[in-house]
Amino acid sequence: MRDKTVAESGQGPDSPLTSAVSGRDQSVLQMASDAVRHKQCKLAFQPVMQAQAPHNVAFYEGLIRVLDETGRVIPARDFMPQVENTPIGRELDCIALEMGLQTLVKNPQIRLSINMSARSIGYSHWSRILDRFLKRDSNLGERLILEISEKSAMQVPELVIDLMDRLQERGIAFALDDFGASNFSFRHFREFLFDAAKIDGQFIRGISNNPDNQALVRALIAVAREFEILVTAESVENPQDAAFLSASGVDCMQGFLFGAPSLSPPWKAERNSKTGT
């Protein structure tokens, strides 16, 4: 049977599928735009745990959320792919950074990581927010971790390297997000000088029963060790996977096994449980 043409397959530029995808993307962009305009954004916090004893919280990740017109909380995975390389994406990076820095000011006992797109580097609004907070407290940077995905870092590598050179002097750490998920060249570790790497969750979920992913993750850990980079495993969902990862030498673990992202700061609940209140 002959191959279908693009038009016959329903995937051409004027096809119903293409129109539906385009309409969905526009709807998502509008939702994010409305949330930014009406300041309907929040941070959800997820703990990142030490893999070895005493298994304390190493830091928290602050994940941007937007509220739709009904007040429903929308996670970043449902809107960030459509807006990351748009002005709205840069504004969301600014909001996440400002809310994260405000959180650090109010809670001097925690460290916090915040996601950013490399496209926000050089964006004057983002830079002004960071400078304003660091001028108030020059030590604030020592508790801030900026996460940049492999894919984003490789879009503008020179800008990422320059940002690291400038901000690591101010105590800010950098984490490579989604480690292993794209064609990030190992030679770039020398150029970027990441402090940490977070292994992508697709390789972590169910790893205790997946020999192929076990071999890959061991290799990723070995590469990170060569460059003295701390390793976090994302999407840890059961004790068996956690046990394998701990034995394999990861430094930290993050996932539903330890806590889902929460709009209520988890450190408050942890403090209350210790005091019995």
What is the DSSP secondary structure assignment for residue 194, as one 8-state letter?
-
| Tens digit of each residue's pLDDT (9 = 90 or more) over 16-39 | 434 344 556 689 889 999 999 999
In the chain, the percentage of residues whose pLDDT exceeds 70 is: 87
Instruction: Determine the pLDDT at residue 19.
Output: 39
Yes or no: say if 229 and 189 are a contact pair by the CB < 8 Å rule.
Answer: yes
Yes or no: say if 33 and 43 are a contact pair by the CB < 8 Å rule.
Answer: no
pTM (predicted TM-score): 0.88
Instruction: Determine the pLDDT at residue 151.
Output: 87
Yes or no: say if 80 and 103 are a contact pair by the CB < 8 Å rule.
Answer: no
The pLDDT of 206-220, averaged and rounded, is: 97
Yes or no: say if 97 and 130 are a contact pair by the CB < 8 Å rule.
Answer: yes
Rounded distance, CA 88 to CA 70, Å? 20
Distances (CA, A) of 245 to 115, 151, 183, 234: 24, 24, 23, 11
| Tens digit of each residue's pLDDT (9 = 90 or more) over 136-147 | 999 999 999 999
Evaluate if residue 272 carries a pLDDT over 70: no
**Structural domains in the chain plus CATH codes:** 42-275 (3.20.20.450)
Yes or no: say if 241 and 206 are a contact pair by the CB < 8 Å rule.
Answer: yes
| Tens digit of each residue's pLDDT (9 = 90 or more) over 82-138 | 898 889 999 999 999 999 999 999 999 999 999 999 989 989 999 999 999 999 999
Helix axes 124-136, 87-106, angle to 10 degrees: 10
Alpha-carbon dihedral of residues 115, 118, 120, 124, nearest 10 degrees?
120
The pLDDT of 44-72, averaged and rounded, is: 96
